[in-house]
Amino acid sequence: MTKKLKNETGLLREALRMVMDDAVRRGVVEFEPTDSHDLKIEYAYRLLVHDKEIIPLPNDQKSLPNIRHRLAMWVTHKLPAGHELLK
């Protein structure tokens, strides 16, 4: 189990926002109001793997908590230094 990041929930929310905004802008996806949060998390993870932004998790470690953590880690490298979520 990976160590939870400080502000991991906020980081995950920001990662999802960034990935989803980019995906919609590129015309890659269209989400429905009924799509679950977990579905969006999985989609964001798959898109980042496809775009070679993140390294895929090994199959035996592919779980929702690990995917959430991987997305939160990814966004820490995308936010500007001093961002409120990185404090």
Kindly tell me if the per-residue pLDDT of 38 is higher than 70.
yes
Place of tokens 């990976």: 2
Please state, in angstroms and rounded to a whole number, the distance separating the CA atoms of residues 63 and 19: 19
The two most distant CA atoms of the chain are separated, in Å, by 35
**Comparing 2 with 41, which gets the higher pLDDT?**
41
Place of tokens 């999985």: 42
Place of tokens 């995308």: 78
- 64-71 average pLDDT score: 96
List of domains in the chain: 36-87 (1.20.120.1930)
- 66-76 average pLDDT score: 96
Whole-prediction pTM: 0.90
